[in-house]
Structure 1
Amino acid sequence: MIPREHKGASVLADRKDYVALDLETTGYDPRLDEIIEIGAIKVRNGQPIDRYGQLINPGRHIPNIVTEIHGIDDGMVKNAPTLADVLSEFLDWMGDGLILGHNVNFDINFLYDNAEDICGKYVGNDFIDTLRLARYLYPEERHNRLQDLIVRFDIAEDQEHRALADVEQTIACYRWMIRHMNENGIPFPAGDGRSRRGLSSLFRGGDQLLQIAPQDEVTPDPAFENLTFVFTGALKKMTRANAQQAVTNLGGINGKTVTKDTNYLITGSTDYNAALKGSKSSKWLKAEKLQLAGQDLNIISEDVFYDMLGDSIAQAPTQSQLKFKITQPACKKILEIPSGNLDAKEVSVLAVDDRTKPSIVLKTQDGEILAEFSSRMKAYETIAALDGRTIELTATKHDEFGSAPYFNAKAKIIR
């Protein structure tokens, strides 16, 4: 999961100036999926003054299930610009003011990660999520999707699932809810409901997997309360038991199988990567059928699940020393790691490809490769938490009689 240290806060408030935003994407995971359409309307003093609409060529096949939802296929984006061609211009157009959107936290994450990767910029805009506002106003309603709101408020009969059309309907829903609050004297939460949602009971254990502390009482969160979550496949950063406990702590419901009552299918990273290549589990296929039938069901990767728990997870405390073994058969190559202790003050741990278990390269500050571990290395699950971090590494070489040498390694995160 990618730390988003500069990400803005979710607020619940009556605002007249904002940019209403919607993105169409190939999926929910900013690391693995692509933006294929941007739609935005700039609003000043409550009135639209400018629009932005752009199809994006993702550089890869758009999954058929995605096309069936919003109608965007490979032919429509064939001659469209890439995201790198238009993102900087769009960010300048959008500015640093308030963003409005429905379930907009996902859109913000896509913008944040791509802006950082492509433009070297941070998207730190605060945002109003009309889904969060609807859950605040209508806690008794099981579904508060955009298509539910437009029917409930008599705005339209159907959601078009195209970016600019969804933006227009989102603005209409926001105005309706604000008017409803004003007419009925309904207050906003204290402090405009300002939130950077996080799970305080979350921490990293000695094995670097995310752990959930015991919690005496449920702390309901609108993103989880009374919604049903089903997990499939092995999670990379958390045991399934801890993930289910996190759902329970926030008022959610854990389901065993995918049914019409399922709201989220969370797929382990292995399953999500496999699905991108066309190999889908039975749970995944059943979930897609329910999606096409109009069920309120989202298929997300485990990283998006962690985003839902809160971006503060990425900043969870880590133990001061990680211990792991570097064995000779598990390495593609080791260059000049001497016997005795090695103190490498600036060592970066970098994923070098997008395989299910990517290789890990240890480098000194001047770029010298100390070790490159294959994707089958058993220690990967332990040191994956160091991906992109700077560490202090100490490795002690051992020569065993009749067997290959190995290194006992300790890594301490510097930043």
Structure 2
Amino acid sequence: MSIAIVQGVLNIPGSQHKIRAKGIEKPSFPENYTLIDVETTGLYPWRDRITEMGGLKVRHGEVVDTFSELVKFPKSNYVPPFITKLNGIDEAKIEAEGMPVKEAIEKYRYFIGSDPIVGYNVNFDLNFVYDLTQKFNLPVLSNDYVDVYRLARSFYPNERHNRLLDCMKRLGIAESQEHRGLDDCLDTKKVFDKFHEQFKQDHLLRAHEMVKTLDLGQEWPDIVKQTQVFRSPFRNKRVVVAGDLEIDKLELANAIKNLGGIVQDEVGSDTDYVLIGDHDRFRTDIVDLTKAKSLKKSGQKISIWSEEYFLNVLDNWARS
């Protein structure tokens, strides 16, 4: 079996343990669910932090409980100024009002329970929450989910932008967005409810068709590549595979090519990414790795990705 995407989830024979074991996206309108939204200091769970957790517990379409907590970490609660400008959350506010992260994630995970999860561009939120639940040995966040952003793209297929605020304006809900956890949850539910009222069968069918199912390990015809590489992280990127990876390198090369990437035999001045094994970063006997480090040190914009990091990037694309 080759590298594949099945119902929006990356399937990697022998390496499935390297990616987050999140649930499956199921475009639908459940009556009972938990809606989530988190505010963060940036885009990347491995580097950035959650600053606020928001949630709604919904039963038969009605809100029966809410969750709203600022999150305080033990070492640093620095918030970049542009984030503070966006949502008003700063270090002083977190220090004064925040709940310690361990307590906050335990309560948040309990609040979510086994419900289907709903959210806007919810894979972003899931990554941050998933990693925190793993860090504190809580039940795996494998709940299936509904992405309201997917529904928006289905409902407005000809619109270039389908941000939450765009939908709020189009649906007559509001002209501005607070960018706070609980407020965004409430706004997302309003959009979700409007979609539920207005969706027709073809809208829902289009949303289901947008959830990817692809064989990445087999070489695609050019016509297929042209239709599938939308938002690919490897489109027009030059990639070198080096070191000891667990996945089949031929299938990996095909996957990169299918996603619009260019596989190089060796690192050069135009290389964008070098993929290495999870235990290779400090090895000195991998020529391409040594060269990549030297080029990076001299100022070249070149990224060195471990196999695990690469697979999670690919899984995020699969779920997009």
CA contact (8 A) 1:21 1:40 kept: yes
CA contact (8 A) 1:218 1:248 kept: no
1:303-325 CA distance string (max 9 Å, x none): xxxxxxxxxxxxxxx9xxx8xxx
Change (3 A) 1:5 1:70: closer
Match of 2:195 among 174, 177, 182: 177
CA contact (8 A) 2:39 2:51 kept: yes
1:196-233 CA distance string (max 9 Å, x none): 74653258xxxxxxxxx444223656xx74x6989999
Matches within 5 A, 1:236-255: none
Q: Which residue of 2 aligns with 1:378?
A: 290
Q: Which residue of 2 aligns with 1:399?
A: none
CA contact (8 A) 1:12 1:193 kept: yes
1:116-169 CA distance string (max 9 Å, x none): 122243101111101001111211010000010000000001011111111001
What 5-or-longer segments of structure 2 have no aligned partner?
1-14, 243-252, 262-271, 294-303, 310-320
> Which range is displaced more, 87-96 or 145-154?
87-96
Q: Which residue of 2 aligns with 1:326?
A: none
Q: Which residue of 2 aligns with 1:344?
A: none
Aligned-residue CA RMSD (Å) = 4.2
CA contact (8 A) 1:25 1:35 kept: yes
Match of 2:175 among 151, 157, 161: 157
Match of 1:29 among 36, 39, 44: 44
Question: What code does the residue aligned with 1:104 have?
Answer: V
Change (3 A) 1:157 1:229: farther
Q: Which residue of 2 aligns with 1:44?
A: 59
Match of 1:143 among 156, 161, 164: 161
Q: Give the percent of matched residue pairs that are identical in Structure 1 and Structure 2.
A: 27
Distance 2:215 2:143 in 1: 24
SS of 2:290 mapped into structure 1: coil
CA contact (8 A) 2:235 2:260 kept: no
Higher strand share: 1
1:165-196 CA distance string (max 9 Å, x none): 110010000111111115xx545229x83987
Change (3 A) 1:62 1:5: closer
Distance 2:86 2:258 in 1: 30
Change (3 A) 1:82 1:173: same
Higher helix share: 2
Q: Which residue of 2 aligns with 1:81?
A: 99
**Matched residue count:** 258
Q: Which residue of 2 aligns with 1:93?
A: 111
Change (3 A) 1:13 1:31: same
CA contact (8 A) 2:273 2:305 kept: no
Matches within 5 A, 1:295-374: 359=282
Question: What code does the residue aligned with 1:85 have?
Answer: E
Structure 1 residue 95: deviation in Å? 0.5
Change (3 A) 1:379 1:81: farther
SS of 1:75 mapped into structure 2: helix
Distance 1:228 1:134 in 2: 20
Q: Which residue of 1 aligns with 2:222?
A: 216
Match of 1:8 among 3, 23, 43: 23
Distance 1:34 1:24 in 2: 9
Q: Which has the higher relative contact order, 1 or 2, with Cα contacts under 8 A spaced 6 or more apart? A: 2
Question: What code does the residue aligned with 1:63 have?
Answer: P
CA contact (8 A) 2:18 2:308 kept: no
Question: What code does the residue aligned with 1:201 have?
Answer: L
Matches within 5 A, 1:40-79: 40-58=55-73, 59-60=75-76, 61-79=78-96
1:91-136 CA distance string (max 9 Å, x none): 1121011111000011111111211122243101111101001111
What 5-or-longer segments of structure 1 have no aligned partner?
204-212, 250-267, 271-301, 303-317, 323-348, 352-356, 361-371, 388-415
